């Protein structure tokens, strides 16, 4: 059974930089898995941030960036703001199937 | 602004059925592939099902295969999820999403006796 793994929680200071990762139990994550990243705040629907590894939506703040790092998909936040405190989910495509990671709770402290 | 609005959630007994609907507005629904995603209380996101823009291609997560049916009516700008043989573990907020960049606010489904 395929599993997509994220760090359960991370803490970052305001103005700092943090990288969240997304790994697949099937092996190295490549662009062929079309990694997506989402932000979700309490009581809200998810909001798309990154698609196809590195592409930003028109509403994605410039401080968010996506990449591949060490066989994983990665989301980097540079110059973290207090409003970035949220849950973050990655999504990978396995052919026709999609699978979310378990999510990372990001605390800005 | 592109919008999706889900409806049809509620309380249902184990083994029962429910049909969720999702109506799209302010974007070209018939050119979008669509998905259903759910989130159990206090848990993470789980992809449920996918349907292509023309309904030619459909996929389901293993957890719902054989019990849930996704469909769409492009003339009505609507997406559906027919759920049957419902179990307690199907309790969740169900979101519809257009290619994962447009999301509805979700509808709650509770399976309980």
Mind listing the pLDDT tens digit for each residue in A27-77? 999 999 999 999 999 999 999 999 999 999 999 999 999 999 999 999 999
Question: Would you call B50 an interface residue with chain A, using a CB distance cutoff of 8 Å?
Answer: yes
Q: What pLDDT score does B110 carry?
A: 98
Determine contact, residues B99/B4, Cβ cutoff 8 Å: no
pLDDT per residue as tens digits for the range B29-59: 999 999 999 999 999 999 999 999 999 999 9
- Going by C-alpha positions, the residue among A100, A78, A83 that lies closest to residue A6 is A100
Q: B81 CB contacts (<8 Å, ≥6 apart)?
A: B19, B20, B22, B36, B48, B49, B68, B69, B70, B94, B96
Helices (H) and strands (E) in chain A, counts: 0, 11
Q: B50 CB contacts (<8 Å, ≥6 apart)?
A: A96, A98, B33, B34, B35, B57, B58, B59, B70
Mutate to test the interface with B, among A45, A89, A101, A104 (most CBs of B within 10 A): A45
pLDDT (tens place) for every residue of chain B, 113 residues total: 999 999 999 999 999 999 999 999 999 999 999 999 999 999 999 999 999 999 999 999 999 999 999 999 999 999 999 999 999 999 999 999 999 999 999 999 999 99
Tokens of B27: 């974007």
In B, which residues are within 8 Å of A98 by CB distance? 35, 47, 50, 59
A80: confidence class by pLDDT, cuts 50, 70, 90? very high
Determine contact, residues A90/A4, Cβ cutoff 8 Å: yes
């Amino acid at each position: 059974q395929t599993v997509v793994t994220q760090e359960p929680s991370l803490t970052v200071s305001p103005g700092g930089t943090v990288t969240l990762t997304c790994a697949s139990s099937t092996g190295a994550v490549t662009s062929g898995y079309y990694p997506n990243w989402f932000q979700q705040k309490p009581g809200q629907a998810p909001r798309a941030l990154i698609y196809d590894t590195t592409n930003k939506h028109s509403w994605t703040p410039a401080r968010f960036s996506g990449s591949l790092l060490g066989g994983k998909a990665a989301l980097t936040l540079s110059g973290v703001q207090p409003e970035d405190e949220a849950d973050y989910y990655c999504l990978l495509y396995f052919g026709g199937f999609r699978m979310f990671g378990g999510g990372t709770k990001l605390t800005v402290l | 602004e592109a919008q999706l609005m889900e409806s049809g959630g509620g309380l249902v007994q184990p083994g029962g059925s429910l049909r969720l609907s999702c109506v799209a507005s302010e974007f070209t629904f018939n050119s979008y592939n669509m998905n259903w995603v759910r989130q159990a209380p206090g848990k993470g996101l789980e992809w449920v099902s996918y349907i292509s823009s023309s309904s030619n291609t459909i996929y389901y997560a293993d957890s719902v295969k054989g019990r849930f049916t996704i469909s769409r009516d492009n003339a009505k700008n609507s997406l559906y999820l027919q759920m049957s043989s419902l179990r307690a573990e199907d309790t969740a907020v169900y979101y519809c999403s257009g290619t994962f960049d447009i999301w509805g606010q979700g509808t709650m489904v509770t399976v309980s006796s």
